[in-house]
Structure 1
Amino acid sequence: MTQKKISGRFDSLTRRDILRAGAGAAALTAGTSVLGMPAIAQERSIKIGSYGGYFEDSFKKHIYPVFTEATGIKVESVTQPNSSDWLVTMQQAAASGTAPADLSLYGKDTMIKAMRIGGLLKPLDVAKIPNASNMKKDFLYEGSDGLVGVGAMAWFTAMVINPNEIKPAPTSWKEFWENPALESSLGLSKQYDARFLDITAATYFDGAETLMTEEGITAVIDKVAEIKPNVALWWTAESQMEQAMKNEDVIGGMYYLDVAGLMAADGFPIAPIFPKEGNPIGYGSWCLSPLSEKSEEAAEFISFSCDPATQALMSRKIGTAPLVDKSLTGLSDEEYAGVSGEPYITPAYEAYLDKESFIKEKWDAMLAGA
């Protein structure tokens, strides 16, 4: 399946064989917090939307059965496209009075869009989601009516290097601009919204705030233009960067953290790095349809999802990053490093929505320029 990304990520989750990484993962134990003794089975159910391919298959195989065993609530999996397209479907559903899914998985930008449209997200009762207290506050999205999104899982775009060629390892993204040894050696994404703008803003400016004005956007893109002599590949497909790193056509750049880990495990010369500015984070959140009559079941599933044991299970079986503190998950240092790290860069979501045409025009002109 060719699945469009949320802010540039989920297509690889649908293609990659990341389940290899979970082959040796430990199952949840009976003594783990909310996943203790199963509740008495009842005729209860819920429809949950998630991205297709390996991602959805992994939820159906590894996540939903554990939830059903713990609560007696059956899960009907609904394949949803990327969250922006799915939002259109949910708008149409709201107009017709039907709900294709009770819970949907939305990116932060899509939640913002939904709140601006209005009437597409049903407030959640946080008192019925006790494990939400495990979540870092960045991943609890408050709307005008209260809590409307609770983080599900995260993923990273990371600095990557060939550790045989770049020594010592960079500690800052600045080295990609300033190290003369990296001329014509880097691979960066060609997409304007693939987070290199956020990386540049965090490295040389005031982060997301700088991208909220056209003057700031122009300054950031001008800074990106300065790195062009060091870029050997502006990649548009994940496979292009993968092959370039394998062939050593590039020796550094930006790539997906989880896939880089898989490549390294297979013996290819690639190492993901968390520099001092951080790497861009993307994440999905569980959101409840206003037409759903399954608020109780939704609250139970979201609380289950927020349990550190479930977060660890998703990391091991799906390759996503946990949204709770590492110390709560039981993940080893090696397991955690394969899917997550700190610090992280929060993308300028509002800027990409409000200034999309301006950003794209300036970005394309920068790429086309000498």
Structure 2
Amino acid sequence: MLDSGDDTLTVAVYGGVFQEVMDEELFPAFSDEHDIEVESEAQPTSEEALTQYENAVSAGQAPVDVAIMAQTGVLKGLNSNLWHIWDTDDFENLEYISDDLVMEADGGVPAVGALSWYINLVQNTDVIEDPVDSWEALWDDQYEDTLGLLGYASNSFLLDITAELRFDDPEILEDRDGVEEVFQELQGVTSQANMWYENEADFQQRLIDGEVPAGMLYSDITLVLQDEGEPVQSNFVEEGSVLDSGLWVTLESTDLSEEARQFIDYASQPAVQDRLAENLYTSPTIDREHSEIDDELYEQIAGPGPDEAITPNYDLYVEEEDWVNQRWEEFITN
């Protein structure tokens, strides 16, 4: 990384391989083109980051200038007035970004799609040969005590999966009575869960070792493990994998809003999105028509594409956060 100084743009990104690839493929090229120094920082969980940013913004400080935030984090931050609101015409490259990844609020744009990923069903191929590619596996007693599942309502999106699979009606999650019905149905997966994981590294290792030979995991991470020679496979799900995204936000308290604007606009270019996708196996946030990724790679990273995916009801996890978490503990994790 370039030497940091007062005019260095600090960008918070997911740690590990995400940060490594962005340090190689995104930040240096931006710095060369715009003569703006960038320093990356590994971001803690959304919850920790939001607490840190809220304290900083209220004190007029900016520990980072730009950050990638998950959709629920963006919405929570909006409620606390943490993000700079851009005008649509501040950016030249928004036209390439999928409409649902240009968030609009307060008469402007607080967040722009940075990268997307799919939550797939994965397996250790040494232990399980046939593809695990239906969400019905979560209720199937042949997988009793076998699966690693994401540990929170708001990152597993199992409520959304159940609403789609068992009720064929995402709108059932629009009120508490409907959510209760979905929770009762979702309870049926608990016998198949070997672990409810908070840190994906815990499940990754057990998946590789065959100790927990199947479950749900981010497809991009699984493909990286596959490249490293591990006996793992990522399966796009018959009924639709879950599509989730991280978005660029700019702290309201930054002194480098112009540099932040240039960075977000740069990262929204089709060629830059393609480069990240090729190196991270994330799904580009640009519409398919603007991507030059070949069909074979696109299918590997995006399966049948975003139109066939399950899109979470993010508002549920923000507006009903405490209640959903309480019911999750009662019904699911005890």
Specify the TM-score bucket, using the shorter chain as the normaliser. Answer: 0.7 to 0.9
| Matches of 1:153 and 1:296, distance apart in 2 | 22
Cα distance, 1:338–1:363 mapped onto 2, change above 3 Å: same
| Matches of 1:232 and 1:60, distance apart in 2 | 36
Matched with 2:147 is 186
Which structure 1 segments of 5+ residues have no match?
1-43
Equivalent residues in 2 for 1:23-102, closer than 5 Å: 46-102=9-65
Which structure 2 segments of 5+ residues have no match?
1-6
Cα distance, 1:82–1:167 mapped onto 2, change above 3 Å: closer
Identity score, percent: 27
Q: Which amino acid aligns with 2:285?
A: L
> Secondary structure in 2 aligned to 1:272?
strand
Cα distance, 1:247–1:101 mapped onto 2, change above 3 Å: closer
Q: Which of 118, 129, 141 matches 1:156?
A: 118
Matched with 2:320 is 355
- The question of whether the paired residues in 1 share the 8 Å contact of 2:122 and 2:132 is answered with no
Q: Deviations over 1:259-307 (max 9, x none)?
A: 2223334454432222243222332211223333444332221111111
Q: CA deviation at 1:60?
A: 2.8
| Matches of 1:243 and 1:218, distance apart in 2 | 34
Cα distance, 1:368–1:136 mapped onto 2, change above 3 Å: closer
Pair 1:364 & 2:311 matched: no
| Residue correspondences, number | 325
Matched with 1:114 is 77
Equivalent residues in 2 for 1:1-370, closer than 5 Å: 46-118=9-81, 120-161=82-123, 169=131, 172-177=134-139, 181-195=142-156, 196-205=158-167, 208-341=170-303, 342=305, 343-367=308-332
| Matches of 2:43 and 2:196, distance apart in 1 | 30
Q: CA deviation at 1:226?
A: 1.9
> Secondary structure in 2 aligned to 1:277?
coil
- The question of whether the paired residues in 2 share the 8 Å contact of 1:125 and 1:299 is answered with no
TM-score normalised by structure 1 residue count: 0.75
> Secondary structure in 1 aligned to 2:164?
helix
Q: Deviations over 1:93-149 (max 9, x none)?
A: 33333333332222211221122223x222213223111111111111111221111
> Secondary structure in 1 aligned to 2:264?
helix
| Matches of 1:268 and 1:292, distance apart in 2 | 42
Cα distance, 1:89–1:176 mapped onto 2, change above 3 Å: closer
- The question of whether the paired residues in 1 share the 8 Å contact of 2:127 and 2:210 is answered with no
| Matches of 2:195 and 2:137, distance apart in 1 | 17
Cα distance, 1:294–1:236 mapped onto 2, change above 3 Å: closer
| Matches of 1:322 and 1:288, distance apart in 2 | 20
- Cα RMSD, aligned residues only: 3.1
Choose 214-223 or 80-89, whichever is displaced more. 80-89
Cα distance, 1:122–1:215 mapped onto 2, change above 3 Å: same
| Matches of 1:64 and 1:353, distance apart in 2 | 32
| Matches of 2:272 and 2:10, distance apart in 1 | 19
| Matches of 1:270 and 1:235, distance apart in 2 | 18
- The question of whether the paired residues in 2 share the 8 Å contact of 1:214 and 1:358 is answered with no
Matched with 1:14 is none
Q: Which amino acid aligns with 1:270?
A: V
Matched with 1:29 is none
Cα distance, 1:357–1:293 mapped onto 2, change above 3 Å: closer
Return the index of the structure with the highest Cα Rg: 1
| Matches of 2:79 and 2:57, distance apart in 1 | 15
Q: CA deviation at 1:237?
A: 4.1
| Matches of 1:100 and 1:237, distance apart in 2 | 24
> Secondary structure in 2 aligned to 1:320?
coil
- The question of whether the paired residues in 1 share the 8 Å contact of 2:117 and 2:219 is answered with yes
- The question of whether the paired residues in 2 share the 8 Å contact of 1:122 and 1:290 is answered with yes
| Matches of 2:208 and 2:13, distance apart in 1 | 31
- The question of whether the paired residues in 2 share the 8 Å contact of 1:208 and 1:346 is answered with no
| Matches of 1:305 and 1:368, distance apart in 2 | 39
- The question of whether the paired residues in 1 share the 8 Å contact of 2:124 and 2:207 is answered with yes
| Matches of 2:43 and 2:138, distance apart in 1 | 37
| Matches of 2:123 and 2:278, distance apart in 1 | 24
| Matches of 1:321 and 1:157, distance apart in 2 | 11
| Matches of 2:38 and 2:267, distance apart in 1 | 13
